[in-house]
Amino acid sequence: MTRVVGIQFKGSGKIYSFDCNGLEIAKGEAVVVETVRGKELGFAVKACYDAYEEDFSKELKPVLRIASEYDLERYRENIIKASEALKTCKELVDKHNLDMKVIDSSYTFDNAKLLFYFNAEGRIDFRDLVKDLASKYKTRIELRQIGVRDGAKLLGGLGPCGEELCCCRFLRDFENVTIRMAKDQGLSLTPAKISGMCGRLMCCLTYEQEVYEEKLETLPKLKEIVKTPEGEGKVVERYPIRDEVKVQIEKKDNFEYFVFKKEDIVFENKECKGKCACPHKNLEVDK
């Protein structure tokens, strides 16, 4: 067993595990740790807890110390200096006429490295830019290309719902979002209505997808012929959350549309295969 603490370096960023190194660290405390980028100051989002070493894929790096007031002051100074460096980098990008958008910048805690994060459509030859930055700041310069979703997470903003972006508040990892999810949920497929601030499909489409998939498995397929109190008809729309379907039924020379509850119609639920507990498993359907 070893004592482990969960450390976060940016708001809503990933939580990294570190060896407590004999220290008792409370939630919210600032600590200085050793990372692959060098020394960094982070904040404990999980207090020290016991864990098995084999639960981690690699050896945990240790917490060096609980941050002092001097460390916190240095941390705040680095944020100010990185903000000024960001402005300079944007000016140099314009000077070199580079097709890239610089999003954010940060210093490592020990000032050994200055990092810039940017978006770009393809590969960018920024060697001259790096030379200018290294000449000005006299430290190691690293430019890191990130995706548009990561860029939105760093910039922040409000989503179509009026709330702060999910990726800024609580999302630590991005899940795969597909157009199939929008179709399953009956949403408009207009790009402007299902895209987030980053221009990609909204992450919130994944939140209820599991429920929609479970509900849709118990409903008839689109265009399936079903028996209803009004006669046989074809399913033209499905409302999974309400357990309802809209059915097109031929009446004399016209088609009429009716909405029925799942329990009021008879259909062959091929997804069930006779093994589920849906209300239609014992119903007979004419072949």
141-176 pLDDT tens trace: 999 998 888 888 888 888 888 888 888 888 878 888
pLDDT value of position 284: 45
Which tens digits make up the pLDDT trace of 2-27?
888 899 887 767 888 898 888 888 89
pLDDT tens sequence across 179-234: 999 999 988 888 888 998 888 999 999 999 999 999 999 889 888 999 999 888 99
Dump pLDDT digits (tens) for 96-151.
999 999 999 999 888 889 999 999 888 888 999 999 999 999 999 999 998 888 88
**Res 85: pLDDT:** 94
**pLDDT at 274 > cutoff 50:** no
**pLDDT one-digit tens code per residue, 16-55:** 889 888 888 889 899 999 888 778 899 998 888 888 777 7
Instruction: Indicate the pTM of the whole model.
Output: 0.71
Model confidence at 277: pLDDT above 80 = no
Under the banding of pLDDT at 50, 70 and 90, the label for residue 74 is very high
For every residue of the chain, which 3-state class applies, written as one string?
CEEEEEEECCCCCCEEEEECCCCCCCCCCEEEEEECCEEEEEEEEEEEEEECHHHCCCCCCEEEEECCHHHHHHHHHHHHHHHHHHHHHHHHHHHCCCCCEEEEEEECCCCCEEEEEEECCCCCCCHHHHHHHHHHHCCEEEEEECCHHHHHHHHCCECCCCCECHHHHCCCCCCCCCHHHHHHCCCCCCHHHHECCCCCECHHHHCCHHHHHHHHHCCCCCCCEEEECCEEEEEEEEEHHHCEEEEEEEECCEEEEEEEEHHHCECCCCCCCCCCCCCCCCCCCCC
What confidence score (pLDDT) does residue 148 get?
87
